[in-house]
Structure 1
């Protein structure tokens, strides 16, 4: 197996009676990536994460972590000690303080003094809960509880982190705080695999994306490659008049693939295959034609649009 890969699977399959939750999945994740798993409920994301975290035994197939074969038995103890897994339903102990909760898990991982206390302070700072270290867990907000769960997951300094729907049910501020923590862990060199339905969150910090459908991995690529291959660039143009002249100019530009006049105002949505330089040339031609522009901006389809497009292709 390739040693510069943090994770590699071959033919990974999990079957529950007649149902295949994960089917013949080949996956490669390089060290230091933030790999986002997206897909509808029942796609197999949670089952895949549970197998990678050694919580679930595969029916068939192989898993390699840092080039070493992984199994649920007592082999590879050093590798398993460097895995962190945060499921979407991990219970908290409301009658403990934040400090005691983290200290409990630090002891489970055999962290000894003085390193244990040092690590507790480090983790509290990472998950932004230093000011709550003596508070009962029952008094924390949902966002704080989720950050505390993440703190428990990283207390033993894992190299690989598996997060299952970590921002589900959080408000926008709590999601933003969680995103910032993930970015910091990534900058510190951690490899992270995260599943989510909140596609805008993944788009913000993931380096690679895997799209699952009915147990299959239908796409796996870097964010940049996905955009280059599947995202359609558009230019939105608004004008105060001379719409016919605008359409003539669009027809004459080689990078204009098609256009759509949007209802209700003098705005045109242009499917544009050119570069930023080509867009600048188009803008210059419109100004030269004395078209009274009030808006001209270039956008690309986001991750959600790509996902919906791929889902439609699979369904058809």
Structure 2
């Protein structure tokens, strides 16, 4: 049985249906990326999973405990980190974490040992005596994550944990989350930073207007959308233009657009982005064959091709394919 099972979750606020028949499951040791535009229902769903809101209908089971009927049994298993989590004034990192360890019922030497263990895991030990208000955004996020881990929960709910972090802090946070999953914890991350999620998540769930549109691995999501439809791979072409200027780019565009499988050509900086359109069910061999024809045409036209490559489809492609950009 999955650690977390969400069945037919619905949440209404008057006439507004914020969450509409959402169902998914999550295994221990896995990371789920929860993706959707603003107002899609991500934060509402996470608040329900954190037992901070009550669904209008539906069921949520965490390790067999109902979050609706028995929230007190489920709460010790949940660690929730909201998208905006402040710290208290005039307290050090250790004091802040120690306060919450006491709130979780930890006592004596076991409490101190747990706080020190969490600080070591999150890299906060050198900052134990630093005031929380004097920390950088990345370090404050580490403190918030540490607070979430104090009671050793099985399920982590993280709402926009990388928001506002610099690149190094994001990489470090990603490493921490992967380490937590390796320890057997299930993690749900809500984020707008799709490239970040693609690098860390095992599976993704895409939600729009409160409805869950697709779940699964990124490759599976893309494949699901392409069943019965034309396959549209993209190629990137770079030219050694030199002093020739726009004339070479324009000639390359004309040559490419004359080819039967080319759907669109767009210049992006110092490269051309070429969208092909192949028959439904086309695989890597067909994509390679079409690309070879284009490369041969460019070389035959005397164009100075210096780089020619296929662009791997990613989570952003899956998101843009699945969602419709509708406004609630």
Q: Give yes or no for TM over 0.5.
A: yes
Match of 1:295 in 2: 307
Match of 2:221 in 1: 226
Residues 23-74 of structure 1 deviation map (CA, whole Å, 9 limit, x = unaligned): 1222222222211111122111111011111111111111111233223656
Q: Determine if the alignment matches structure 1 residue 16 to structure 2 residue 20.
A: no
- Is there any run of 5+ residues in structure 1 with no aligned partner, and where? 252-256
Equivalent position SS for 1:28: strand
Contact 2:264–2:275 at 8 Å: present in 1 too?
Answer: yes
Match of 1:279 in 2: 288
What's the offset of the Cα at 1:243?
5.5
Q: Determine if the alignment matches structure 1 residue 171 to structure 2 residue 166.
A: yes
Change (3 A) 1:246 1:13: same
Change (3 A) 1:115 1:288: same
Contact 1:249–1:285 at 8 Å: present in 2 too?
Answer: no
1:48 aligned residue (21, 26, 45): 45
- Is there any run of 5+ residues in structure 2 with no aligned partner, and where? 227-231, 241-247
Q: Determine if the alignment matches structure 1 residue 210 to structure 2 residue 205.
A: yes
What's the offset of the Cα at 1:245?
12
| Whole-Å separation in 2 of the counterparts to 1:276 and 1:183 | 34
TM-score (norm 2): 0.81
Q: Which moves more between the two structures, 130-139 or 66-75? A: 66-75
What's the offset of the Cα at 1:283?
4.7
Equivalent position SS for 1:114: helix
| Whole-Å separation in 2 of the counterparts to 1:244 and 1:143 | 45
What's the offset of the Cα at 1:96?
0.9
Change (3 A) 1:179 1:43: same
Alignment size in residue pairs: 305
| Whole-Å separation in 1 of the counterparts to 2:266 and 2:142 | 44
1:89 aligned residue (84, 88, 96): 84
Change (3 A) 1:140 1:287: same
C-alpha RMSD of matched pairs (Å): 3.1
TM-score (norm 1): 0.84
Match of 2:156 in 1: 161
Contact 2:256–2:294 at 8 Å: present in 1 too?
Answer: no
Contact 2:50–2:157 at 8 Å: present in 1 too?
Answer: yes
Residues 182-202 of structure 1 deviation map (CA, whole Å, 9 limit, x = unaligned): 122122221001111111211
| Whole-Å separation in 2 of the counterparts to 1:313 and 1:165 | 20
Contact 1:39–1:213 at 8 Å: present in 2 too?
Answer: yes
Equivalent position SS for 1:93: coil
| Whole-Å separation in 2 of the counterparts to 1:250 and 1:219 | 35
Match of 1:254 in 2: none
1:101 aligned residue (88, 96, 101): 96
Match of 2:55 in 1: 58
